[in-house]
Amino acid sequence: MNAVYLDHNATTPLDPAVRDEMLPWLDPRPANPSSLHAFGQHARRAVDQARVRVARLIGARPDEIIFTSGGTEADNLAILGAAASNQSPTRLVTTAIEHQAVLNPGLHIRRLGGSLTLAPVDAEGRLDPDTLLSSLPGDTTLVSVMLANNDVGTIQPVAALAEPLHRRGVLLHTDAVQAAGKIPIDVEQLGVDLLSLSGHKLHGPQGSGALYVRRNTRLSPILFGGHQERTIRPGTENVAAIAGFGKACELARERLDADAAHMLALRTRFEQAILERIPGVTINGRGAPRLPNTTNLSFEGLDGELLVLNLDLLGIAASTGAACSSADREPSHVLLAMGRTPAQARSSVRFSFGRDNRDEDVPRAVESVVRAVQRMREGRR
């Protein structure tokens, strides 16, 4: 089936150039980067090259990149690693719209005797930095604010937090998993101490990712073993995945402007056509700066999950929200935090475009959404 894939915030297709970069490392040839012999040193060079490529995407130094098994591990390492390096009990302040990979380590910190505070967002899904700073508990040790939200695509004012937090001795982490490859990222301009990335959100392999750790930031490991990744993340490196992730970051950097313009053009046409042709549609987060590829739409009176299933039958792949929670029936915590009622939140569907979408995908997706919504509203499923 020639389906139209509009779920790039869940995962992206592997870029062929990334696959080519990975294939030699899947040959039956030993490749442990810690080995002193030629096989090992060859693998070490591939890991080093990938580190340079990842660092360049975010304006970091190569020695500030720690490879992980993905965005979830990078978030866990940032939050639990920062907590473990503290003498005093941790107080984590984060937002109500974070991914589970941040919220759940936060709950774990609370179980360990620390505290967790969730900062609210406005109806457009945006954090007000002044509100967060003025209500910041005095014993805060770590603030984690995502750079862009996965469900609605809203971009958060992370850079505005850095200097005031550093003055108070508070570390700043950002989950940039959804932002990377869609908007420019520069760790110096953001001023963050820790930043999470994931390979499979930018046409790299699943199970690859990295945590940026600013020089001189105190961070304890959360896994214990060998000396790999400066002992912050021990375990033999997944050379194929790391090499592919590095290539994906290089491509993302080279193509950023073109990819962003392409995705924005497709999304704009899609949103305009849907609003014109279907009554009772709201774009969630429309009033805030958003990622160029994401649109989250509430369809008044409809069940978003049923709409996703009907769209699937018509060859359109969309989602009700975060892939990890779309299997449960809970409405999106992001939309609830934006003040939507549970019924409004349940009526929402996320469409996320990617560099591989073509112009002709837009009319096809629009026709399918119009058809599916009409049928559902007429009570014919």
Write out the residues near ligand PLP by the rule CB under 6 A.
70-72, 75, 99, 101, 146, 150, 175, 177-178, 198, 200, 209, 322-323
Least distance (Å) between residue 338 CB and ligand PLP: 16
Nearer to ligand PLP, 148 or 316 (CB): 148
Calculate helix-pair angle for 239-277, 38-57, nearest 10 degrees: 30
As a residue count, the chain comes to: 381
Question: Among 246, 266, 298, 293, which Cα is nearest to 10's?
Answer: 293
Least distance (Å) between residue 178 CB and ligand PLP: 5
Nearer to ligand PLP, 102 or 372 (CB): 102
Least distance (Å) between residue 316 CB and ligand PLP: 20
List, in order, residues 6 or more apart from 15 with CB less than 8 Å away: 203, 204, 247, 248, 251
Nearer to ligand PLP, 10 or 373 (CB): 10
Which residue among 26, 107, 324, 343 is the active-site one? 324
* Phi, psi (rounded to 5 degrees) for 87: -75, -45
Distance of alpha carbon 372 from alpha carbon 358, whole angstroms: 21
Nearer to ligand PLP, 7 or 361 (CB): 7
List, in order, residues 6 or more apart from 98 with CB less than 8 Å away: 106, 144, 145, 146, 175
Least distance (Å) between residue 209 CB and ligand PLP: 5
Distance of alpha carbon 263 from alpha carbon 154, whole angstroms: 15
Q: 């690693």: which residue's tokens?
A: 81
**How far is CA 278 from each of CA 263, 319, 368, rounded to the nearest angstrom?**
22, 19, 12
Helix (H) or strand (E) holding 104: helix 100-111
Least distance (Å) between residue 91 CB and ligand PLP: 22
Least distance (Å) between residue 101 CB and ligand PLP: 4
Query: Which position's Cβ is nearest ligand PLP?
Result: 71
Distance of alpha carbon 200 from alpha carbon 177, whole angstroms: 9
Question: Among 76, 156, 68, 133, which Cα is nearest to 109's?
Answer: 76
* Phi, psi (rounded to 5 degrees) for 102: -105, -45
Question: Among 121, 122, 107, 109, which Cα is nearest to 80's?
Answer: 109
Nearer to ligand PLP, 121 or 322 (CB): 322
Nearer to ligand PLP, 187 or 366 (CB): 187
Is 249 part of the annotated catalytic residue set?
Answer: no
Q: 């009700």: which residue's tokens?
A: 320
Residue positions annotated with a catalytic role? 324
